[in-house]
Amino acid sequence: MADSDIKAATALKQQGNKAFSNHDWPLALDFYSQAIEKYDRDPSFYCNRAQTHIKLEAYGYAVADATTALEFDPSYVKAYWRRAIANTAILHYKDALKDFRAVVRKVPSDQNAKLRLAECEKFVRRMEFEKAIEVADPPSAFEGLDIASMVVEEGYDGVLLEEEMTQEFIDDMIKRFKDGKKIAKKYAFQIVEAAKNIVYDEATMVEVQVDKGTKLTVCGDTHGQYFDLLEIFRLNGYPSDTHAYLFNGDFVDRGSWSCEIALLLYAYKWLRPNKFFLNRGNHETDDMNKVYGFEGECKAKYNERLFKVFSESFSALPLATLIGDKFLTLHGGLFSDDKIKLDDIRKLNRHNQRQPGQQGLMMEMLWTDPQTAPGRGPSKRGVGLQFGPDVTKRFCENNGLEAIIRSHEVRMEGYEVEHDGRCITVFSAPRYCDSTENKGAYINVGPELKLDFHKFEAVPHPDIKPMAYAQNSSLMSLT
């Protein structure tokens, strides 16, 4: 290897560092990858790229890069640290535990490392305890919940909610949430129960048409970023009888207004069940909610019982929406088997399996991602798989589709059209987690079934950090 190549590779790494400091993760990733192509023996190149993968939530790739860095330098503390953070993010706590222990052994004076280790040990114990007491078919969280007898808290000064949702209540709730107030616990339980009953009776793949004189807006991940959700409505119009909305999963976790978003979306579902649609995302699941903040937020703002009824309602959500027989909209992506047809989704009984598990149709619908290379590949996340343009083309042709619309991944411009126009990603959480300088986007669909893309910027919000309610928020830190 010539010195000039090493010098050029180091210069590329420095450009990557600059892009990273500017929160431009995709550009940083490109520079680090170019550096590795020039010179593939420097562990810092891999370690820096691992940190970039973490920022992009490509945790499986981060684990691989940190492991490569450690093969070159087994004493590289940052590589142990980053591999531990990546494994924590994909719930591989026992693997993370080994690396946190390695960091503490190598830097015994690092108090932060000791804290992370203690939190990881605590979380492993908790997961093992919960697994030990797990019941195969737990009773409904609504069982014994007498909402009718609940009393609205004294001093509640908002609009009252009777037996049916009203636009007046929603308008008042939107303002209350903006002002940092809550709704009565009774009303929160009413909203979740009503929405759960509605979505439970919907098909696993909801099929909608866009009638003349109406439009449908498709939104991607909102991740507890309530004020950015309101910005979508301000720019694009609030839900109405002629303006339907579809939210494509990941309403909760990460951002610290997940209760507000979930309750607002459910209230709209109750008010306009045939004009407001919700797909399940990979964060509408117990494992993710326990780690990424929603469980803790429910407990802090309302109580643990509310989280349990939300959990049950999430498992009732549809997994996909077919728009005008042309666009299959689902949170993650396509499948490990080319034989899967729309009828397989229609026939999937999602009520027999509350959580997606590690394999199968539901897991793939919630977790998979597109890749540029043909065929299928291992997941960059460490969960699910990746599918290439040829896979998308075959699926669309076999099912008479124009394209699939999915979410699940940050896109710097808020959306991306790839796989020769057949795979569209839309992401609606701008400046994701207050650290990624991405735009948000949404898609308007009219009766002609043409896709109209709109980008928008993040708006200011109260000074509450992402993951504020996660019990192990410091353990999950991406820094």
pLDDT at 67 over 80: yes
Positive or negative, the Cα torsion across 440, 320, 259, 131?
A: negative
Q: Which residues are catalytic?
A: 283
In this prediction, residue 339 carries a pLDDT of 96
The tens digit of pLDDT for each residue in 229-248 reads 999 999 999 999 999 999 99
In this prediction, residue 479 carries a pLDDT of 34
Distance CA 355, CA 313 (A): 12
Cβ atoms within 10 A of the Cβ of 473, count?
Answer: 18
Domains of the chain: 3-132 (1.25.40.10), 147-456 (3.60.21.10)
Among 226, 228, 237, 293, smallest CA distance to 260 is for 226
Q: Are 445 and 237 in contact (CB under 8 A)?
A: no
Band (pLDDT 50/70/90 cuts) for residue 471 is low
Please compute the mean of the pLDDT values over residues 180-184 and round it to a whole number: 97
Band (pLDDT 50/70/90 cuts) for residue 265 is very high
In this prediction, residue 476 carries a pLDDT of 45
Q: Are 434 and 465 in contact (CB under 8 A)?
A: yes
pLDDT at 173 over 70: yes
Q: Are 467 and 432 in contact (CB under 8 A)?
A: no
The tens digit of pLDDT for each residue in 183-225 reads 999 999 999 999 999 999 999 999 999 999 999 999 999 999 9
How high is the mean pLDDT of the chain?
95
Q: What DSSP line would sit under 375-409, residue for residue?
A: SEEE-SSSSSEEE-HHHHHHHHHHHT-SEEEE-SS
pLDDT at 474 over 50: no
Two structure tokens written together for 58:
């490509």
Q: Are 224 and 261 in contact (CB under 8 A)?
A: yes
Q: Are 367 and 356 in contact (CB under 8 A)?
A: yes
The tens digit of pLDDT for each residue in 325-337 reads 999 999 999 999 9
The tens digit of pLDDT for each residue in 345-382 reads 999 999 988 889 888 999 999 999 999 999 999 999 98
Two structure tokens written together for 322:
């077919």
The tens digit of pLDDT for each residue in 295-316 reads 999 999 999 999 999 999 999 9
In this prediction, residue 477 carries a pLDDT of 43
In this prediction, residue 1 carries a pLDDT of 62
Which of these ranges, 15-19, 381-385, 448-452, has the smallest mean pLDDT?
381-385
In this prediction, residue 457 carries a pLDDT of 98
Cβ atoms within 10 A of the Cβ of 452, count?
Answer: 11
Task: Name every residue whose Cβ is closer than 8 Å to that of residue 172 and which is 6 or more positions away in sequence.
Answer: 158, 159
